[in-house]
Structure formats: structure tokens, C-alpha cells
Homo-oligomer: A and B are copies of this chain.
Amino acid sequence: MKLWQQKYQLNKQIEAFTVGNDYLLDQKLVKYDCLGSIAHVKMLNKIGILDKTESDKLTMALYEIIKLDGNKAFIIKQEDEDCHTAIENFLIKKLGDCGKKIHTARSRNDQVLTALRLFYKDEIKCITELMDNLIKTLVAIKQKYGSVEIPGYTHMQKAMPSSVGLWAEAFAESMNDNKLLLLDIFKLVDQSPLGTGAGYGLPIEVDRETIAECLGFSKIQKNPIYVQNSRGKFESTILHGLSQIMFDLNKMASDLLLFSIPELGYFQLPTEFCTGSSIMPHKKNPDVLEIIRAKYHQIVAFEFEIKNNIANLISGYNRDIQLTKKPVICGFEVTKNTIQIMIKVLAQLKVNKIKCKNAMTKELYATDKVYKIIKKGVPFREAYKEISQEYETT
């Protein structure tokens, strides 16, 4: 039974195609859709559509769904299309006419946006906490190995002296900037869309402030067309924010992969983090770092899929947008998972002090020599030339 059910039956193949895996993805949204509906019910009571009894019944039934969902006992079926339908059907079955009133003063279009944003806000909070843990782990590395010198590279060639501490601190500072950006994105997303209907408002006065306050949104997104047009846009911004985090993990993994080849050997993964080869008995492979590295590309692909999916289309809801749901949900999942694994790897990372020390060869100090001469008053460019002669190849 669909929300829009009419006398005809939707063709089964078309149904399967248009619903796609939405009914599975929507399991993640059940809780958030119920929370959105609870606020909506409160508002409907306030504006007189629902009386107190109806409002209480609906609210209790919605909490019941949240509980069922928590026990994995609220299952959305393909013919339900999505969580919104499954929930309304449940309410109507349980409460009759009272359930039939809940969709007053809203459309699925603003309803799904509400659920998604509540979900996004929770996910972003969760990710910022993981970022804090990652930063702590990096600080711990700095404290433990900070003074161990390693070569600093430019163009993949030894450049100047660096240290394990400098390396760890670089990612801590970067991750902090990533966090600030993500919090700015949180502010963008933190706008209440409920009460804008299908994108052109509603033929009834809605108390949008009550809903927004109830749901903890810090402001109302006013224009109903903008509400619809922002779907996909906000998601692409979220994914951009995630891509910045994942980029740092990609770079950390790239560093660790190079710095842990035996020929350099500055770092070492614990054996139980390494996999073997089906043919070569000596291998201990750092697969975990390679997969961390590769995950960045998933996130970037998610972002770009959304950015192109939504382009060249007119304003207002277009069903194309349904395909933005998976990239953003998976984007959060991948990011959370990858940060957690990176924390685990970093926590166990070993530094081989002897290999580090041996790697500190003299060309790394060529620039120091230049500055020694400078201190005697020689202009930089002259000092540079003087020292560079030591390295001329003939």
C-alpha cells in the first residue's frame, strides 16, 4: 500500500526498478523519520489538526516503532517503497483515522529531507568524535617518538631533516582544520525543511518554528523551492567535507607505505595487521594501508556522482535525486570505518630508530651549511651557490 495508492496497480518491474534499494537503505532512517513525525504531530496538535488524544496515540506509536527498529523488528518491504510509507501504514493499521491524519501539512518531499538531515547531524557528530580520537593518537605518537629524526622528502627525494613528531603533528593540525570545515558544514545542514510540502508550500498555515525547535534545528530553511533544490547540494558538501578527512588518511597511508618498505624501514606494522600471499611464503603485506588509501577514491566518486546527478535539471523535486541517498549514507559509513582502522594502525605503529638514524645522510644537511655561511654575512644566493658546488655532478 503506497502513500499515493490509486485504483491502478504499478507495474511490478517498474516498481522494483524505481524503488531500487531504497527500502533497504531506509532502515537507517526509521528512527529519524519517527523523530521528525513526533515533532510534526506536536505541531499538528498545536494548530488544531490533531486533538490531544490523537497526538498522544501517534506519539506513542512512533516511539514503539523506534523501539521495534532498535530491535531490528521494524522491516521495510519493497512494496512499501520507503520508510515513510512503512511508518504511515503501521500507524494507520494500528490507529485507524488518527494515522490517516499524520500526513496533513507535509509531503514526502519535506519529510524525507527532515529525516536525512537529522541523520546527517548525528553522523557528523560521530565523525568529529572519531577525528578527536585520531588527533589524540597522533599526539601520542608525537609524545612517544617525537624526537626521532627521519628524512623529509620533496619530489620523493631526501630534502631536509624531519622527525616522527613533525610528521604526526602535521596530520593532527590538518585534521583539526578538517574538523572546523565539517562543523561549518554541520551549520549549513542544520536547517529545518519540514513544513514546505512538495516544494511549493502548503494550503494550510504551518507552525514551522515549533517543529524546528522540537527537532533541535538551529534555524528554518525558508523558501520551499530552495528546500528541494538544496537536496543533493548539501549532500555534495557533506561528501566534500568527508573527502578532506579521507584525503589525509590517503596521504598518511601513502607515507606509511613508503616509509615501511624494508629499504627505508622507518615504520613497521605489527605482523597481525599484515596479510600474506597465496604463492610467496615470505610476504607480510600492508594491505590495510592500501585499502585505506583506496577508500578516498570511493568518497570522491560519491561526491562527483551526486554533483553530476543533480546538474542540468530544473528546480523542484526530480526523482533522480533518490540516487543520492546511497552515496551519502555509504560515504559516512566508509569514513567512520576508515578513521577507526587508521587509529588502530597508528596506535600499534612501530618506529625503527636504527633505520631512521642511518637514513639521516649528510645531503639532508646541505641547507644547514648554507645558513652557516649566511651567518657570516654572505648573501643567501651566494651561499647557496657555494654549497651547491659540492653537489655538482661532473
Contact = CB atoms under 8 A, between A and B. Distances in A.
B84 A278 contact: yes
Contacts of A172: 223
Interface string A229-264: 110010011001001100110110011011001111
Given A4-B277, A283-B154, A297-B309, A223 B318 contact: no
B162 A200 contact: yes
Contact of A200 (B159, B169, B204): B159
Contacts of A104: 374, 379-380
Interface stretch (A11-19, A28-36, A61-69, A127-135): A11-19
A170 B200 contact: no
B294 A322 contact: yes
A114 interface: no
Interface string A84-117: 1000100010000111111110111101000000
Contacts of A25: none
Given A155-B287, A382-B100, A11 B272 contact: yes
Interface string A310-344: 11111111111111000100000000011011001
A285 B107 CA distance: 15
Given A17-B338, A154-B280, A170-B225, 20 more contacts: A4-B275, A97-B382, A154-B199, A160-B197, A160-B199, A162-B225, A166-B200, A170-B229, A170-B315, A172-B223, A198-B279, A271-B393, A280-B367, A281-B384, A281-B388, A282-B391, A297-B323, A300-B304, A301-B308, A308-B308
4 A-B pairs closest in CB distance: A4-B276, A301-B305, A100-B379, A281-B388
